[in-house]
Every structure is written in C-alpha cells, then in structure tokens.
Amino acid sequence: MAKSIDVSDLDIYYGDFKAVEGVNLTIRARAVTAFIGPSGCGKSTVLRSLNRMHEVIPGARVEGKIMVDGQSLYDPSVDPVAVRRQIGMVFQRPNPFPTMSIFDNVLAGNKLNSKKMSKSDAEAIVERSLRHANLWDEVKDRLNKPGMSLSGGQQQRLCIARAIAVEPQVLLMDEPCSALDPISTSAIEDLIHELKSDYTIVIVTHNMQQAARVSEYTGFFNLRATGEPGRLVEFNETKKMFSNPDREATEAYISGRFG
C-alpha cells in the first residue's frame, strides 16, 4: 500500500555544515511529487533523507521528523535496511549490476533480503516487475543476457523493475532521465504516470517541463546565498506552481530569470 510522508522542521547536516534547513511538507500517497531548484540547493539531499541513505555518508545526520503513516523513520527502533526496502531509490544514471543477467538484476533486492523463493516464485516476480516497468515484451526472450547489454533507457527501466520487485510503498527517483535521450525520457515519464496508481513517487529533476508533465505537486528549493543552507521556498500543486506561484522567487526560477 502506498504511503504518505510528513516532513517537519527537517535540518540536514554534513558534519558541521548545515546543508538543508527547516523543510516542512507532506508528500501525498499515490501521487508524483517533484523537487526542483538550482544545483546545490539540497533537493537530492532531502530525497536521500527520505529513505535514510543520507546517513551512510560519514558525519551526515538529520534533525527534525520524517513520518511515514505516523511512524518515525529515524526512531532508534527502526531498522534503516527495512526503511530502504519500504522506500526504494532509482538513481541518476542507470546502474544494473554488471555481472548479473537481466533476470538476476530484477531479483537482486529480494536475494539481498534473504527471501527464500522457489523457481516459479522467482519467475513470477521477474515477469511482474518487468511488466510493471514496461520492459517485459522487450526482454522476455533474453532474460539470461547481461543487464548491461540493454540500451540506456532499458537499463533505467530495469533498475526501476529491480526497485519495485521488493514491493516498496514509496519510489524515489533522483534525476532518472538526465542521462537519457528524449525517446527514453518519454518512456520513463509514461512509466511514472502508470506507477503512481500503486506507489508514492518523489522525483528530483532540473527539467521544468518534466516536472510540469509528470507531477501533481512540486517543491521549489533554493539558497539565500552561497554557503547558506538550502530551503524549501514553496510547495504547491504543480498546476498552480507553474501558472501562479505564491513566491516571486519561484516565478523567477520557473521563468528562467535566474538559476
């Protein structure tokens, strides 16, 4: 079941440096939320905090609250590995495991979780995940081929299939189309539209048109000055954000007057 995420008074640090300050927002279930803003303003840092990947960096920490359906992600009793199973991540560049086949790439997360599977169960997970990622018809006759043998766009959809094979409730995407050609980008955007009926999706993108196309809600992040923490300037419905934003800085960024 897709989950909503409530973020309250979130500060994010790298050692003594405060990278992000005072973020408050609610990420709706079964919707796409886009994070936009100039480079270095904390979009990806906030994204990584949502499944506790930020803390794998030495000295990194968060303050504030991130709640998923009322459960604090950073409660001492919560296993971060379980969080990352519940909240999957797709990265900027496709990263299929180079020594694994397409079939084994899809099952990598399940095997990492020590999930015992029969051959028929494994085959069912692979087919379901690849169908969900709109890749099954393209690869069903070569599942034993290396994942790296696919095109860039196919590799990214393979990574999405791998992420959803463990049945997360939330899917985070960090600029998933930035390394892809326009045709592959269109395929990923179509896939995002299809997946949102089952998942809560958060995407970081520098592409204003992409944010407008794929998301229902948009958060605009910015820096007050170089060296200052990133802040959430405005969070709103995407249609309003791109037609009549509440903040002048938002309008300036979206219109291209800065950033």
Those residues of the chain that have pLDDT short of 70 are 1, 114-115, 258-259
Write down the pLDDT at residue 179: 84
Output the DSSP codes for 52-69.
T-GGGSTTEEEEEEEEET
Q: Taking the domain 5-93+171-254, which CATH number applies?
A: 3.40.50.300
Contacts of 103 (CB under 8 A, 6+ apart): 126, 143, 144
- Count CB neighbours of 226 within 10 A: 6
Amino acid at 126: V
Domain boundaries, the chain: 5-93+171-254
Write down the pLDDT at residue 15: 94
Over the stretch 191-237, which tens digit does the pLDDT of each residue have? 999 999 999 999 999 999 999 999 999 999 999 888 899 999 999 99
Write down the pLDDT at residue 117: 83
Write down the pLDDT at residue 24: 98
Write down the pLDDT at residue 116: 77
Q: Which parts of 151-196 fold into alpha helices (H)?
A: 152-164, 182-195
Write down the pLDDT at residue 256: 84
